[in-house]
A and B are shown apart, each in its own frame.
Chain A
Amino acid sequence: MNLEALLKHPGLWKGRQQHDGKETISTGYPALDAVLPAHGWPLGALTELMVAHEGIGEFSLLLPSLDALTRQQQWVALVAPPHIPYAPALINAGISLERMLIVDPEKDTTESDKNAFWATEQLLRSGVFSAVILWATKNSNERQQRRLQLAAEHGKAWAVCYRPQQTAKTSSPAGLRMVLQHSDHGMQIDIIKNRGGRLHSLTHTTPSATSPDNTGQITPLPEKPHTEKNAAKNIKTPLCSISPLKTYETRTKQ
C-alpha cells in the first residue's frame, strides 16, 4: 500500500485536514464557528455531544443551524428524541417543521436501540438528509459510532449523536466531540476532540440566565471564547478527558 492509498483509508485521519469551507453548516455562533476547522458543524462527519444532565441547553445549541437548514428546504431528522419535540417551541426557534422528520421507534423494547441506530444510518446514507440527530442510550458502542461516522461520510451529512457524559471516557471515531455541562454562566462547552483543529472551552449563555423578562425567543448570546492556552485547564470538573487532552495539546505545539 503506497502513501496515497494509505491517506485515503477511511480509518485514518490526518491531524490537520484542510476543510475547503464549502461543505459546512454554520453553528450560528461566531465564537464557536471560529474554533471549528470547518468554520461550522462538520459535514460528512459525526459530532458527539456528551451531556451531563438533560435540559441544560444541549438541544438549543443546534437550533440556529437547524433553523438555517430547514429554511433552505433541506431535510433534517430527529431520531429517538427523549421526549416530545414541542412544535410551538420549534416554531419559535424559526424551524420549518415540514422539513423536520421525527423518527420515533417504539421505546423500551429490545429492538428499539438497534432500530434507532439503523434508522440513523439509513437516513445519513441516503444523501437526502442534511442533518440527522440521534439521542443514543447508554448502550451505544464504538462500533456503532464508527458506522454512523462512515454513513455520515457516505451521505455527506451532518450526524449528531447525543450520548451520556460517561462515554466521554471511551474513544470514538467521531470527528468532533463536545462535553456539555452546566456552569454558573450558562452551558459550558468543552471540545475534547476536534479533528483538524484545536481544543477549546466555551460558554453558551442561555437567555433566561441573563434576561429575566423571557421574551420567548431563543436568542443565543455569543459565547465567550477562552484563550486557547487556558482552554483545557478551564474545564472545571475533573473530567477524564483532561489528561489525554493535555498531551495532545503539547504534542501539537511541538
Chain B
Amino acid sequence: MKPEQNNNKASSKSTHKQQSSTEQTRPPSGKSKQSTSARPKGNHLWASLYLPDLLLDTMQNSEEIPVAVIERKNNRQQIRSCNHHAHEAGIFMGMALNSAYAILPALTVVEYNAEQEAILLRQVGEWAMQFSSIVCLHPPNHVLIEIAGSKRLFESFEILAALIQQELATLGYSGLMGIAPTPLAANLLARANIRRGIVQVQKLPYVLSELSVSYLELAPDTLEGLRRSGMRKIGNLLTVSPASLTRRFGPACVKYLDCLLGRHPDPRTPLRLTDFFERSLDLPLEVHDTNALQFATQRMINELAAFLVAHDNGVNMFTLTLRHEKLDDTQLQLRFLQATSQARHLHRVLSEQLAQTTLPAPVSGLHLLADTFSEIERDAADLFVKSRRQQNSFGEVIDKLCSRLGHDALYTLSTVDDHRPEKAWKKSAPESRQDRDSNWPDRPLWLLQQPRPVTPALWQRLSLEGDAERIETGWWDNTDVRRDYYLYRDDRGTRYWAYRQRGKSNELFIHGIFS
C-alpha cells in the first residue's frame, strides 16, 4: 500500500474536516510545548492512532479500485465506509448497497465484521510496541501509544510521531494521530485531525473548547441531547456545571469530561505481547474416553489458531496436558513438520494423537501450551504444484502419519560419501534438501539390516556372476572393513550381493539383494 493512497483516503473522509492547527485558540501561557520541564515528572503523553477503517484498509491493494465496507442497518445493506475512488464516483456513507451498485457496478464490497476489526486493531497494537513499551487498545478504532517514555530515544515526540505515521502508512493503514496528556484527549485530537500535539494538561481546555462536540466519545443519545440543547462546541459544554450535566445526561458524561481533561485518573491496561499461548480448562465432569476429549479441546484449538493468525505465525509444536485426579498428568506433544496455523490441521493431528493415547485415569482438566512458533512457509504450496488433486498439503499428510506411526517411521534417504556399504546411506527428515550425487558402483536395491550368513542349502543353489569388488576402508575409526564382494544368483533368479571377510574365515555373508 502506498502512503499517497492513505492521504487520498484521509482527505476523502467528509466527516473529518481537516482543521489547521494555526486556527486554534492559543492559550496565552503556551510557549514551549516541547519542554519536558513544563510537564510534571511521571506524567504520560499519549499518541492516539485513530484507525476508522481497518477493514477497508486491508481490502485495498495497489490497484486503484473502488472498495467499500458494508453493514446491515435497519434491515438493509448500506455503505459503512468507502475509499477515495468509490467516493469520487458518488458513493457516500449510509448509501444503500443497491444504489451504490447502480452508480458503480464494479464496486468491491466486504461486510463489516467486528471480530475481524478487533483482530486487526490488536495487530496494529502489537506492531506499535516497537515504539513504546506501553501500548493500549481503545476499541474499536484507537491504539494508544505512550510516548513520554520513548521521547528520549527519538529526540523529540514530533520526530517519533512522524515516524509512527510513516511506518503505519507503509503497513497499509490509514490513520490519524493526536497527541495529548490524557488518552481521551489524544483520541479526540486524532478524530478531529488536529496535528499539533498538546503536552500540558492545563492547556487542554483551551484547545479542546473550539472543537465540535461530535468528536466526543459519548453515547449517541447524549450527543443528540447536546445538539438539541444548542451546544455545538466542547467549550459550551465545559461552562455547564457538572451537577446539571449529571442531571441531564447521567454520570457517564461528567466522568468522561473529567478523564478527558485529566481531572480524573484514567488508568489503562497495557497490551502485552505474549510470546506463548496458554489455556486451561477444568472439565465439569471427568472424561473417560479420548473422543469426548476431542470435543473439549475444540475451543482451545480454535483459540490457538486465532492467536497464530493474529501473530502471523505458525506453531511447530504444542503440549497438551491431561490432568488426572489421582495420577500424574499425561503429556501429549504434538509436532508439525511445517509450522501451521490452520485450525483444521491442528484438530486433525490432535485427534489422531488422542486416538492413539490410552488414558491411565479419567481426565479432570486440560492445559494447552504453545511456545514454539515460526513463520509459516508461504511458498510451501509450490513444492508439489504438479500433483493432480491437491486436497491436503504435504506437511499435513506427514504429520498425520507421524502422529500414528511415530516420527522415526517416516524419512527420506540420502547417500553418504563412505565406502563402507552400511555407512553409505542415512535417513533424513522428510523435505530436507539433498545434493545429487555422482555415480556409484553397481549396488543392490536392498541392503539387509544385518548381513546374513549363507546357509549350506543356499550355497548349493548359488552361482557366481561377474567380478569381485574389494572394499577395504574405515581403519581410521576402528570399524574397518576388509571385504571382497561378489555377485551371486540362485536358481530361482534372486541376485545377491555377498561378501567374504578378508583374512578371516571363508564364510560368505549376504549383504544385499538386487531386486
Residues of A within 8 A of B (CB): 23, 43, 52-60, 72-75, 81-93, 96-106, 115, 118-119, 122-123, 125-130, 155-156, 181-183, 187, 206, 208, 212-217
* CB interface residues, B 389-436, toward A, < 8 Å: 389-394, 396-398, 400-401, 404-406, 409-415, 421, 424-428, 430-434, 436
A residues in contact with B390, CB < 8 Å: 127-128
Q: For the complex, is B41 an interface residue (Cβ under 8 Å from A)? A: no
Is B515 in contact with A57, judged by CB distance below 8 angstroms? Answer: yes
Instruction: Determine how close the nearest CB of chain A comes to the CB of B278; give it in whole angstroms.
Output: 32
Is B443 in contact with A89, judged by CB distance below 8 angstroms? Answer: yes
A208-B447 contact given A87-B424, A122-B400, CB 8 Å threshold: no
Instruction: Determine how close the nearest CB of chain A comes to the CB of B210; give it in whole angstroms.
Output: 65
Is A106 in contact with B446, judged by CB distance below 8 angstroms? Answer: no
Is B493 in contact with A56, judged by CB distance below 8 angstroms? Answer: yes
Which listed residue, A60, A92, A102, A106, touches B412 by the CB 8 Å rule?
Answer: A102
Q: For the complex, is B465 an interface residue (Cβ under 8 Å from A)? A: yes
Q: For the complex, is B384 an interface residue (Cβ under 8 Å from A)? A: yes
Is A87 in contact with B493, judged by CB distance below 8 angstroms? Answer: no
Instruction: Determine how close the nearest CB of chain A comes to the CB of B352; give it in whole angstroms.
Output: 10
Q: For the complex, is B442 an interface residue (Cβ under 8 Å from A)? A: yes
* CB interface residues, B 285-335, toward A, < 8 Å: none
Which listed residue, B436, B493, B494, B513, touches A83 by the CB 8 Å rule?
Answer: B513
Most chain A CB atoms below 10 A, which of B389, B390, B394: B389
Which listed residue, B387, B397, B412, B447, touches A100 by the CB 8 Å rule?
Answer: B412
Chain A residue at smallest Cβ distance from B494: A55
**The 10 nearest A-B residue pairs measured at CB:** A182-B493, A55-B494, A83-B446, A87-B425, A216-B442, A127-B389, A88-B440, A59-B515, A56-B493, A89-B443
A residues in contact with B492, CB < 8 Å: 52-53, 56, 182
Is B437 in contact with A91, judged by CB distance below 8 angstroms? Answer: yes
Instruction: Determine how close the nearest CB of chain A comes to the CB of B444; give it in whole angstroms.
Output: 6
Residues of B within 8 A of A (CB): 383-384, 386-394, 396-398, 400-401, 404-406, 409-415, 421, 424-428, 430-434, 436-437, 439-449, 465-467, 487, 489, 492-496, 512-515
Q: How far is the CA of A142 from the CA of B387 in the complex (A)?
A: 28
B residues in contact with A93, CB < 8 Å: 445
A98-B433 contact given A84-B446, A104-B409, A127-B392, CB 8 Å threshold: yes
A92-B446 contact given A100-B413, A208-B466, CB 8 Å threshold: no
Is B384 in contact with A75, judged by CB distance below 8 angstroms? Answer: yes
Is B442 in contact with A214, judged by CB distance below 8 angstroms? Answer: yes
B residues in contact with A118, CB < 8 Å: 404
Is A126 in contact with B391, judged by CB distance below 8 angstroms? Answer: yes
Instruction: Determine how close the nearest CB of chain B comes to the CB of A128; give it in whole angstroms.
Output: 5
Is A84 in contact with B425, judged by CB distance below 8 angstroms? Answer: yes
Is A86 in contact with B425, judged by CB distance below 8 angstroms? Answer: yes
A86-B389 contact given A187-B493, A208-B495, CB 8 Å threshold: no
A residues in contact with B396, CB < 8 Å: 126
A102-B404 contact given A75-B394, A90-B445, CB 8 Å threshold: no
Q: How far is the CA of A154 from the CA of B388 in the complex (A)?
A: 11
A127-B387 contact given A86-B444, A88-B424, CB 8 Å threshold: yes
Instruction: Determine how close the nearest CB of chain B comes to the CB of A163; give it in whole angstroms.
Output: 15
Is A84 in contact with B397, judged by CB distance below 8 angstroms? Answer: no
Instruction: Determine how close the nearest CB of chain B comes to the CB of A99; give it in whole angstroms.
Output: 8
